[in-house]
Structure 1
Amino acid sequence: MAATPVVVPAPASKTPDLAYAALPNLAPPSAARRPVRLSAHGIERVDPYAWLRASNWKQVLTDPSALAPEIRSYIEAENRYAEAVLAPLSGLRVKLVEEMKGRIEEEDSGVPAPSGNYAYWAKYLPGAEHKQIVRSRRSGGPEELLIDGVRLAEGKPYFSLGDHRHSPDHRLYAYLTDESGSENYRLHIRDIGAGRDLPEAMTDVSSFAWSQDSSTLFYVKLDENHRPLLVFRHRLGTDPAHDQLVYKEDDLGFEVAVASTRSGRFVVISSTNDDTSEQWLIESAHPESAPRLVAARSPNARYTIDDWGDRLVIRTNADGADDYKIVTAPASAPGRENWRDLLPHQPGHRIVEMVALAGHLIRLERDDGIERLVVHRKADGNEYAIWFGQEVHSIELGTMYEFDTSTIRFRYSSPATPKQTFDYDVESQTRVLRKQQKVPSGYDPSAYVVRRIAVPTDDEETVPVTLLYRDGTRLDGSAPLFLEGYGAYSFAFPTEFDSNLFSLIDRGFVYAIAHIRGGTEKGERWRNSGRLAYKINSFSDFIAVAEYLSRTGYTSPGRIVASGDSAGGLVIGAVANVRPDLFAGMVAQVPFVDALNTTLDDSLPLTVGDFTEWGDPIHDPAAYRVIASYSPYDNVSARPYPDMLVTAGIRDPRVPYWEPAKWVAKIRAMKTNDSRTVLVTNMSNGHNDVPGRFASLDEVALIYAFALEVTGMHRPPPVAEAIAPDARRRER
């Protein structure tokens, strides 16, 4: 693929973006056009803003000051413009933050999870942004502080506590920290008795697992391109520089992780992409032993294993089990030739997750977007389902350390039902409510309506849609709608309780989730019909939902705010190029919008691994044409666009900052109306939400204030003090 600079005349200037009435003449930044002609598969195209991509992007991830001055100057100019344009909303944003904070308990504590003689949990001190990890004796007694996130975060512009876990002998605590936002985690080992960390620490770690004797940590280290491909073994008390490489993944399209089985018998090395997986076992009691292959990777065959005492239990899509079945195999000979069906495949009835206990197997299933838990007794094969009263709900299996137990933990909620944590005895079939989420400012679930509807599409499919609105809301087309979607990476958009949403709903909004193709709400078929050559179905589904909700009175065209983050931002970008007239505004958080250029750049962390999701345009001309047909940046045209709020993170390793920057620059240069296109780039953070349970509300308030303003639900005061916006989001 050759790239040769060419000179292309600049287009005639357009009418500048208009800010709010208080700032009528504010002109937005105008990015310089430096066209680069690109060629692949005999197809030529011109990229006018390629210069915004930092050639030293790896260095920028760890040191944003290394960003080229010219690029930094432009990004900072965008931030200044955004600050000025959004200034009239500052009072509303402050009010929204206070509202949302009022729905969060100032002092909060998780439910202790038993493990041996101890129980471990997380808690928040009154007003604290970051959590503490604590434990006590299982039989009771004083609380013991293990990890103090508040203290660790002191004086740091960014701090995130990642995965953390006690050692099997309960003497040590391993934990990950990220102090940059670039997801370069550092692995620490806390001596609990001494109350301090051991001198050794490992860098660029993505996951870890303890050996059975607590003497060894296995961990995955990122390579130089930020890919998790290397597994090392660290013996406590030794220099990490001498850690032994245990496993190296040579296929750049795979990602590696390590974990322990609940029984503690095995450390499992998993190497996966979206279509294929392979796992290796290390005897945890013998950490120096070599990994043993479970089953060799085979195209389009995925599996995950757990230890079931006398055998392995395996969740797999092998043999055409698209929505997964469960098989067993002897641990001494776990190859596919020895797999025996335990629970056969049921098409459309997806087995999402399984938990192996000594005497039971628990599975989370999803059928047409509705979740349930099923308990299978090992001794006799009898099973039953745990049912829940509401059609639309979310179930999440909780932290469970122990293998030889009859108690499971799960969390239940619905869009209108605050989260409830239950312990459930699978033998007596009784549940105990261990925690009920409280809304301190007051909340009445009966005041809200939750619905699940099916929206027809032009190709005779039906898209599930989850709706939430206040009882009494007029469904005559006058209500504004906040519409979200994702549709990628097998992700099923959760229908859980989110107290923040009520700041929109109580102001008259209808909230909707479009469970579009590309996710797994309706099984593997739903996923496959929204990826690769069929990716366009994700976008047409989203449009079909917006049109249907307009026709049926939930809203009307021009009253909708569409929102998507990361790969969901791809949906927003693609839809903006096709049906911008449906929307009053669009929110794209760290959006994957320069899709063609990114999937052609195999040096980036996610590109090769994502070929199974988007296609491989480097080697496959057909995949190139498909991606080029919908890539938001490449399909921006001279037409009206709605008001847009776009966010980015300078340290984002998943969706690099230049994707939204280029997209905004191109929209602003080509759009034919005076809509506002605002780009907010966080100059220190990366892809994920800003850490801190209250600090993260700043961005939510920014999005909601934007939604309220563009739908005419807010009129700014005549004088408003500017508040610098933040932009931190999650993953592609």
Structure 2
Amino acid sequence: MTDSTMPPAPPTAKRLETRREHHGDVFVDPYEWLRDKDSPEVIAHLEIENDYADQTTAHLEPLRQNIFDEIKARTKETDLSVPTRRGGWWYYARTFEGKQYGVHCRCPVADPDDWNPPQFDESTRVPGEQLLLDENEEADGHDYFALGAASVSLDDNLLAYSVDVVGDERYTLRFRDLRTGEKYPDEIADIGAGATWAADNRTVYYTTVDAAWRPDTVWRYQLGSGGPSEQVYHEPDERFWLAVGRTRSNAYVLIAAGSAVTSEVRYADAADPAAEFTIVLPRRDGVEYSVEHAPRVGVSGQDRFLILHNDDAVNFTLVEAPVDDPAHQHTLIPHRADVRLDGVDAFADHLVVSYRREALPRVQVWPVDVDGGYGDPEEISFDSELMSAGLGSNPNWNSPKLRIGAGSFVTPIRIYDIDQVTGERTLLREQPVLGDYRREDYVERRDWAYGDDGTRIPVSIVHRAGIELPAPAMLYGYGAYEICEDPRFSIPRLSLLDRGMVVVVAHVRGGGEMGRLWYERGKMLEKKNTFTDFVAVAKHLIDVGLTRPQRLVAMGGSAGGLLMGAVANMAPELFAGILARVPFVDPLTTILDPSLPLTVTEWDEWGNPLSDRDVYTYVKSYSPYENVTAQRYPAILAMTSLNDTRVYYVEPAKWVAALRHANTDGNPVLLKTQMHAGHGGISGRYERWKETAFQYAWLLAAADADQDGGENADPAGAVDAGPTP
């Protein structure tokens, strides 16, 4: 090699010892100095890391450009969502070619008795169409933009919306008169994302966050009053978050307080701008519940709540109770060990129950009888093995139609309206995929791996039909907070599949795919099950001949980034590359510091190492950063954001420095920091596509996959699966 072709030398972070001592254990941290975000030296280090990552991956630029071009070519850039009726208007969103963000619109309902969405296309401007909000105008001049709330008052006249232009998830609330288009001078800064109108059409409820970014206070504000906001409720317990919303019936405003294991809900009359809030059921440690208002039509005095709770029902049970006596409960759906109840939605003529069985989300409709009772439930089913379904936008209490969304790894999202009287199902839209995409060219299937303790682990596999095995493969995992990685379609993922890569999702413990116990067995002092499950799936893919270690790459983000860091230490020999996005790789340092954002609320997920020596010892035993050792690591790419308030950039920065110091093989370890973004990454759809192309090009190269695609690719060649950016 000549000097001009030699790879650049990786940055070396200085080592400056910081001592941490708890429960008699001393840890000397050489890279904690990187936490000082205001330090020019720290910023310079991150920029040097970015330069190194760019130089090291410069040879992938043609591939990145090809992938970006493919995403763009397959996406209908000028497009229109399915209109949703609310009040006297149809609401929808438009996107335009060349524009980074969406445009929110509405048009008037022509016939109050017609609940079928109006038929028009993306190039048609509908008579009476009104522009509510152009996100592109709001984003102009900012490096980052995210829309929080976009809520219209019940009389259809006023818009409340919130924006974040930094990425730190602190929003500014603004108001617009939709009759005149004029903005109100009223503006409220540093709030949470949401905003909820009361039924008087002048009062808005919102939350603010404390120094730890915990939504801890609910306020209400009288638009145009010129006065200050009124504090409605403050949550002093640092384990609990607050959220505020309005029931579909528009009768009540609800304030929900919740930790990872306990809930408490308050309600108040939505029509009374000075209403006092009443507790539905007092909080009891370990009991979670949610509330839906379901007045029994035709039954006098039967104003009722539907309550979904887990009191002596680990997978939850559904009960109904009078609003004025919520403790007097009647069971509608008893607990079942094989079914996890996820939610209930009430309408004038039916209930919709969302639940999970056999690792897939499902929907069931219960008709409401004329006397207020309930008829026989009917499941909304689909013919695909991995089809997942859920409620779409259904804001109306008395709608005769039910909006449902469904899709799979190979089926673009489909939007249906279901007639509640006849049961007729109308397909309103299937997500367009431009080009020559055909569902039948791809295969999706469910497989099962077995953990070290004999546990059956669900595995979702997607690939192009006729692919030759073993093939390059990407294994995705998350496994925390009871979050489920359900089948969903992704246009960007096609660029992996069409280059011969198999995409696999490991539904590991810590998620909720197999019910509440699946979650319980992957948290606190059983967290390592998440990691061993992922390793078991990787071994299974190799054992059955789907891939080889030299062609297997792994990807995960946030808590899934913790998973990536853990398996990098535990089983580096199984992977050719690991991509960790906003990775939670220094968990012990974080959850030992109650002053850091989200720490106290996280103790119910990970345990409290400050007060419990066993928790401290257990978390330390798997913390990716603290367990980096001198061994061969696969190629690693860590991606983070400077303004992330959920997982500080310092965690992957320290991790990468430690890996470089210990790595005995010389495989490249890269850190890429977005300097103007938050936990969700960079904003703007074209910029997101570029970032996805960067990640996918790296994964393909690490897996030694066919990087040409298109006419140079194996015509059989590609696979798809798993959540993607």
The TM-score normalised by the length of structure 2 is 0.92
RMSD after superposition: 1.8
Per the alignment, residue 227 of structure 1 pairs with 214
In structure 2, how many angstroms separate the alpha carbons of the residues matched to 1:666 and 1:30?
Answer: 10
**Cα pair distance change 1:23/1:81, threshold 3 Å:** farther
- Secondary structure in 2 matching 1:547: helix
Paired position in structure 2 for 1:450: 444
CA pair 691-330 structure 1, distance change in 2 beyond 3 A: same
Q: Helix, strand or coil: the match of 1:320?
A: coil
Partner of 1:423 in structure 2? 417
Q: Which residue number corresponds to residue 661 of structure 1?
A: 653
Query: Cα offset for 1:287?
Result: 2.0
Corresponding residue to 2:22 among 28, 40, 49: 40
Q: Within 5 A, what are the aligned runs for 1:353-372?
A: 353-372=343-362
Contact 2:348 2:397 survives alignment (8 Å): yes
Q: How does 1:406-417 map to 2 (within 5 A)?
A: 406-417=400-411
Alignment-derived partner of residue 90 in structure 2? 119
Amino acid at match of 1:178: D
Hey, what's the Cα distance between the residues in 2 that align with 1:165 and 1:324? 31
- 1:634 match: secondary structure: coil
Aligned partner (choices 461, 467, 476) of residue 467 of structure 1: 461
- Counterpart residue number, 1:27: 9
For structure 2, the 5+ residue unaligned runs are: 111-117, 119-126, 296-301, 709-722
Q: For each residue in 1:344-372, what CA deviation from the matched residue of structure 2 results, as whole angstroms up to 9, or x when unmatched? A: 11113011222110121101111121222
> Is 1:191 the counterpart of 2:177 in the alignment?
yes
What's the CA shift for 1:715? 7.1
Q: What secondary structure is seen at the aligned counterpart in 2 of 1:654?
A: coil
1:51 corresponds to: 33
Q: Is 1:627 the equivalent of 2:614?
A: no
**Counterpart AA for 1:170:** D
Amino acid at match of 2:540: Y
- 1:679 and 2:671 correspond: yes
User: Are 1:70 and 2:70 an aligned pair?
Assistant: no
Partner Cα separation in structure 2 for residue 605 and residue 470 of structure 1: 43
Residue 22 of structure 1: how far off its partner (Å): 7.9
In the TM superposition, what are the counterparts of 1:303-318 in structure 2 within 5 Å?
A: 303-309=289-295, 310-318=302-310
Instruction: Return the match for 2:230 from 238, 244, 247.
Output: 244
User: Residue in 2 aligned with 1:87?
Assistant: 58
**Residue 483 of structure 1: how far off its partner (Å):** 0.6
1:476-528 residue CA offsets vs partner (Å, 9 max, x unmatched): x2x01111000001100021111111111111111000000001100001000
User: For residue 580 of structure 1, what is the aligned residue in structure 2?
Assistant: 572
Does the 8 A contact of 2:18 with 2:28 survive in 1? Answer: yes
Match of 1:439 among 433, 436, 456: 433
State the alpha-carbon separation in 1 of the partners of residues 19 and 163 from structure 2: 42
Deviations 1:289-321 (A, max 9, x none): 111111111111111111112433334333321
Q: Quick check: 1:210 aligned with 2:192?
A: no
What amino acid sits opposite 1:253 in the alignment? R
One-letter code aligned to 2:342: V
Structure 1 residue 282 displacement after superposition: 1.4
Name the counterpart of 1:339.
329
Q: Deviations over 1:380-432 (max 9, x none)?
A: 42211111111102223111110012311111111011111011122211111
Partners of 2:361 and 2:486 within 8 A in 1: no
After TM superposition, which residue ranges in structure 1, 4 or more long, deviate above 4 angstroms? 20-23
- Report if the CA contact (8 A) 1:370-1:391 is conserved: no
Aligned position for 1:329: 321
Match of 2:486 in 1: 494
SS at structure 2 position matched to 1:89: helix
2:493 counterpart SS class: helix
The aligned counterpart of 1:10 is: none
Quick one: which amino acid aligns to residue 223 of structure 2? Answer: L
Deviations 1:660-714 (A, max 9, x none): 0000000000110110000001111111132222221111111110011112235
C-alpha deviation, 1:555, in angstroms: 0.4
Matched length: 685
Q: Match of 1:503, SS?
A: helix
SS of 1:666's partner is helix
- Residue by residue over 1:177-201, the C-alpha shift from the partner in whole angstroms, topping out at 9 and shown as x without a partner, is 1111111111111111121221111
Indicate the residue corresponding to 1:171 in structure 2: 157
Deviation at 1:276, TM superposition (A): 0.6
Q: Is the 8 A contact 2:305 2:323 kept in 1?
A: no
Match of 1:287 among 273, 295, 299: 273
Structure 1 residues 22, 343: CA separation in 2 closer, same or farther (over 3 Å shift)? farther
Distance in 1, matches of 2:424 and 2:253, equals 33
| Alignment partners' CA distance in 1, 2:421 and 2:224 | 44
Tell me, yes or no, if structure 1 residue 388 matches structure 2 residue 374.
Answer: no
SS in 1 for 2:195: strand
- Is the 2:212–2:598 Cα contact (8 Å) retained in structure 1? no
Structure 1 CA distance for aligned equivalents of residues 585 and 109 of structure 2: 50
Distance 1:250 1:669 in 2: 43
State the TM-score, normalized to the length of structure 1: 0.91
Shift of 1:75: 1.0
- Partners of 1:420 and 1:126 lie apart in 2 by 22
**1:21 Cα deviation (Å)?**
11
The answer to whether the Cα contact below 8 Å between 1:596 and 1:628 also exists between their aligned partners in 2 is yes
Asked if the contact 1:122/1:134 (under 8 Å) is kept, the reply is yes
Match of 1:607 in 2: 599
Kindly, what percent of the aligned residue pairs are identical?
37
Tell me, what secondary structure is at the counterpart of 2:687? coil
Shift of 1:239: 3.5
Partners of 1:573 and 1:593 within 8 A in 2: yes
* C-alpha separation in 2, matches of 1:51 and 1:515: 36
Cα distance in 2 for residues equivalent to 1:204 and 1:324: 36
Q: Which one-letter code corresponds to 1:163 in the other structure? A: A
